[in-house]
Amino acid sequence: MTEKGIHTDFRESMTYGEYLNLDKVLSSQERLSGHHDEMLFIIIHQVNELWMKLILHELETAIDSIQNDELPEAFKMLARVSKVQTQIIQAWDVLATLTPAEYMEFRDSLGRASGFQSYQNRLIEFALGYKQPQIIQIYEKDPKLSEALEKAYHAPGIYDVAIQALARTGFPINPELLKRDFSITYAGDPSVAAAWLEVYRDVDRYWDLYQLAEKLVDIEDSHQQWRFRHMKTVERIIGFKTGTGGSSGVSYLKSVLDHRFFPELWDVRTKI
């Protein structure tokens, strides 16, 4: 029985499917092998890329907000990033239902395509401050994409603008940091460590900066959980085989687990 008032005539109106472009979205899962489980593999990665698009959307605006001293606005965006991260972490549990034997049935169909080449993942890493110069070479095939990555590579990441916010508040931040080459991965500085220590020791006075710090820790914590689940899922499915894109696979994924985006925000926990 149809509920009264439900609109059923869409000859002159936009439908839900049209608004979401579902014809494009749902027709983009093309299995190259025809194997049943390739559908799972494609959908998981496409869904992750959609979530990454939202993460980037929020991070980029949060960076702008912090630069404009609009910290409360940034908090909302960063909190949303953390919630999205829970979705992409849990997605690995679904992909882990793919067994090694099932994956080998269609792995060759991928050619050299690999998640290692995810440009949105690279843009997220750039926004978090992790810059690797050799990575950009992967995307030279697409000039527009290469230009976008190059721009993000040289732009300040979210921790860079957080450090700038510390300086604007009056903390004696090393001036070299404020005009540094942002294409170089940040490695830490005593003046930043001292500033965050004061923030954590006087939370009431520096409430907004304290909140910003904790939001950043939330994001790094979740990103590392995502990295770990990625590594374990890959190990579970292909062991220590070389990745389809030529990377060392699990060995590479393990190597990045020790990297810290916001080092002083972790060190301060020992010092307070």
Q: Which residues are annotated as a binding site for substrate?
A: 41-45, 103, 107, 244
- d(C-alpha 142, C-alpha 162), whole Å: 32
Number of DSSP helices (H) and strands (E) in the chain, helices first: 13, 0
Radius of gyration of the chain (CA): 22
* Distances from the Cα of 27 to the Cα of 21, 24, 31, 255, 257, angstroms: 10, 5, 11, 37, 36
- Owner of token pair 């439900």: 6
Residue list, annotated binding site = 41-45, 103, 107, 230, 244
- d(C-alpha 217, C-alpha 232), whole Å: 22
**HSE on the CB side for 177, CA within 13 Å?**
23
CB of 255 closer than 8 Å to CB of 130 = no
Residue list, annotated binding site for heme = 230
- d(C-alpha 204, C-alpha 55), whole Å: 30
